Amino acid sequence: MSTVPDVRGEGSAQSDGGAAGAVTTLPAGAALSGRSAVPARRARRPAGLLLIATVIAALLAVPLVFLLIESSRAGWSTVGSQIFRPLTGTLLWNTVRLTVAVTAACAILGTATAWLVERTDLPGRRVFAVLLVVPLAIPDFVVSFGWSSLFIWVQGFGGAVLVMTLAVYPLVYLPVAASLRAADPGQEEVARSLGAGRVRTFIRITLGQARGAILGGCLLVALVLLAEYGAFEMLGYQTFTTEIFTNLQLPTEVPAACALSLVLVAISLVVLAGESRWRGGGRVARSGPLTQRVMPPLRLGIRAKVLSVACVGVLMALALGLPVGASIYWIVEGGVPSVSDSVSVSMLDAAWHTAAYGVSAAAIDTLVALPVAVLAIRHAGAARHFLERSTYLVLAMPGVVIALALTYFTEQYLDSAGYQTAPLLVLCYAIMFFPLALVGVKAAIARAPASLDEVARSLGQGKLAAFSRVTLRLAAPGLAAAFCLVFLEVVTELTATLILVPTGVQTLATQFWQYQSSLSYGQAAPFALVMIAVAALPSIALGRFFNRSADTRGMER
């Protein structure tokens, strides 16, 4: 659910291409033989990379293709009649009003907290900078569990808005904080010198600089909301995703599941298109070297200070304290003995499976994203455009839809062999989180200018040797970050896992879900805490990585 600043990868990539925006890589054959087989000597295309990337793009499109095939098998008229019925209207209204409300709340909350932490002398802002990101590590369904298990009134639309806002606002906070930190303070100073007041400067310049980041964050929030299952199921709030999930359980409801999936994908595409249109001419031109000058923080008055700390403190208590506190409460309430030996055995087993799936999917995604990222960063052109669009397709496919497509595929073509096996589950994760890995890997590759590879080649290193001795080494922290990101997502994934988890196997999320569904809160709570612990470490590492990369960018040049 969490993609971190897309804005960064793009921006720094621009400056690295240097004079040679065009293609520089040679096909492997020419490099090895020292002789060109091509009679007309023209600028070379990176043929090998393009081939790999095209195969990947094709794989990413597979779930959508299956969804369409399955729909047509069910008969388009049946599917149509499933779409045009009152239920769809209800679901649409539920989904849209929730998306609008939560996205708006997150935009305000995320931007305000980011501004307080990055631009003012808020007391304890270094601690808050870390704490504000931690809710990312708490699965949305655990936040929902914390609230709904303690307070009966947390349910329906209001409950969903409250829970989801607290669970996902860091998706706006994180990119906005990064962009505020990296923004050129000169612009604000110039605005002030031109007679714009503080408020006007904030609205015209500061918000303008953060616009891309705010929009990017809102996009992620909207996509998470469209894909969420667990939290809404607990709150008794009906959306497309929960309805698809229910239909998926019943073999007779295949056309309905397909129909609703198509509508959900269509909504996601609309959201994606809207974001890219709004972002529009949001490219930032930057003159001069990328020196990082630190903006002197705005000094808050004593009253503003107290108020701000109180607000951020309350937010932390609600978003972080309450879910964790509720889990501890239920453990204590159930009596520690109720967390019996059988729980601890199943806990170890579940943790092992969760970790194994997470590591596999993260490794696959990081590796597979590498060629696509190199192509995207170092070889601008039509191919790059095409590939980025194809990852968009995946972004528009919520986990439940991808899982559904893979389920129908195994039923239809593999005679159910492979259904609910570890490889299929890992494949599902890998597809779901590929766009996320790609963002991270692109940012990592952008940190290693192509000119360094060229120097390495002029010093006698072959193409692959230069890449591994220079680019990979420089990109390593970013690649690790991408790996952590995917791992974190897999650990906290519930929807697709419930559908595809191998028979007889439990992950932390599914075991939690099982106990929670049977109202065994005392037994569910330890799993919630372990999930938070497992996910918290990578997310803190991630926060540190993005802080550092913003701080050292100037230095490396």
Partner 1 sequence: MRELAVSGLQKAFGPHPVLTGLELDVPAGAFTAILGPSGSGKTTLLRLLAGFEQADAGTITIGGRVVDGPGRYIPPERRKIGYVPQEGALFPHLTVAHNVGFGLLARERRGGRTAELLEAVGLAGLGARYPHQLSGGQQQRVALARALAIRPEVVLLDEPFAALDAHMRASVRSDVQRICEQAGTTAILVTHDQDEALSLADRIAVLRDGKIVQYAPPQELYTRPADAALARFVGDANLLDGQLADPALAGSDGARTVDTIFGALPLAPAQPAEPIPPGNVTVLIRPEQLELIAVPAASPGTGCLSGRVVACEYYGHDAVVRVQPDGGPDGLEVIVRTTGAPRLPAGSPVTVRARGPVIAWTR
Judged by the rule CB under 8 A, the positions of this chain that interact with partner 1 are 18-22, 24, 26, 30-31, 34-36, 39, 41-44, 449, 451-452, 454-463, 466, 469-470, 473-474, 555-557
Whether the CB-CB separation of 531 and 512 falls below 8 Å is answered with: yes
Which CB atom, from 305 or from 384, has the smaller least distance to partner 1?
A: 384
What does the alpha-carbon distance between residue 367 and residue 52 come to, in Å, rounded to a whole number? 12
* CA-CA-CA-CA torsion sign (427, 431, 432, 434): positive
Minimum distance of partner 1 from residue 451's CB (angstroms): 5
Minimum distance of partner 1 from residue 494's CB (angstroms): 39
Minimum distance of partner 1 from residue 190's CB (angstroms): 25
Which CB atom, from 305 or from 469, has the smaller least distance to partner 1?
A: 469
Residue corresponding to tokens 């997310």: 539
In 3D space, the residue among 143, 229, 128 whose CA is nearest the CA of residue 532 turns out to be 143
Which CB atom, from 294 or from 459, has the smaller least distance to partner 1?
A: 459
Which CB atom, from 39 or from 86, has the smaller least distance to partner 1?
A: 39
In 3D space, the residue among 431, 163, 84, 480 whose CA is nearest the CA of residue 323 turns out to be 163
Which CB atom, from 252 or from 458, has the smaller least distance to partner 1?
A: 458
Burial code (b: 16+ CB inside 10 Å, e: under 16) for 277-307 equals: eebeeeebeeeeeeeeeebeeeebeeeeeee
Minimum distance of partner 1 from residue 23's CB (angstroms): 9
CB neighbourhood size of 460 (10 A): 8
Report residue 38: phi and psi, to 5°. -85, 120
Report residue 120: phi and psi, to 5°. -125, 175
In 3D space, the residue among 209, 385, 380 whose CA is nearest the CA of residue 285 turns out to be 209
Which CB atom, from 26 or from 339, has the smaller least distance to partner 1?
A: 26
Minimum distance of partner 1 from residue 473's CB (angstroms): 5
What does the alpha-carbon distance between residue 350 and residue 501 come to, in Å, rounded to a whole number? 11
Minimum distance of partner 1 from residue 80's CB (angstroms): 47
* CA-CA-CA-CA torsion sign (216, 218, 219, 220): positive
**Cβ neighbours for 209, distance < 8 A, ≥ 6 positions apart:** 179, 180, 183, 184, 187, 284
Which CB atom, from 46 or from 159, has the smaller least distance to partner 1?
A: 46
Minimum distance of partner 1 from residue 317's CB (angstroms): 41
Report residue 532: phi and psi, to 5°. -60, -45
Which CB atom, from 457 or from 544, has the smaller least distance to partner 1?
A: 457
Whether the CB-CB separation of 154 and 235 falls below 8 Å is answered with: yes
* CA-CA-CA-CA torsion sign (14, 17, 19, 21): negative
Minimum distance of partner 1 from residue 32's CB (angstroms): 9
Which CB atom, from 6 or from 453, has the smaller least distance to partner 1?
A: 453
Which CB atom, from 124 or from 462, has the smaller least distance to partner 1?
A: 462
Which CB atom, from 416 or from 451, has the smaller least distance to partner 1?
A: 451
**Cβ neighbours for 13, distance < 8 A, ≥ 6 positions apart:** 377, 442, 446
Minimum distance of partner 1 from residue 391's CB (angstroms): 26
Which CB atom, from 14 or from 421, has the smaller least distance to partner 1?
A: 14
Q: Is 114 left (phi over 0), alpha (psi -120 to 50) or beta?
A: alpha
What does the alpha-carbon distance between residue 279 and residue 286 come to, in Å, rounded to a whole number? 18
In 3D space, the residue among 417, 482, 536 whose CA is nearest the CA of residue 3 turns out to be 482
- Between the CA atoms of 523, 526, 532 and 538, what dihedral angle is there, to the nearest 10 degrees? -120
Which CB atom, from 35 or from 277, has the smaller least distance to partner 1?
A: 35
* CA-to-CA separations, 497 to 68, 358, 403, 429, 490, in angstroms, rounded: 22, 12, 8, 9, 9
Minimum distance of partner 1 from residue 379's CB (angstroms): 13
Minimum distance of partner 1 from residue 440's CB (angstroms): 19
Minimum distance of partner 1 from residue 8's CB (angstroms): 18
Minimum distance of partner 1 from residue 478's CB (angstroms): 13
Name 298's bridge partners: 120
Check residue 229 and report its DSSP letter. -
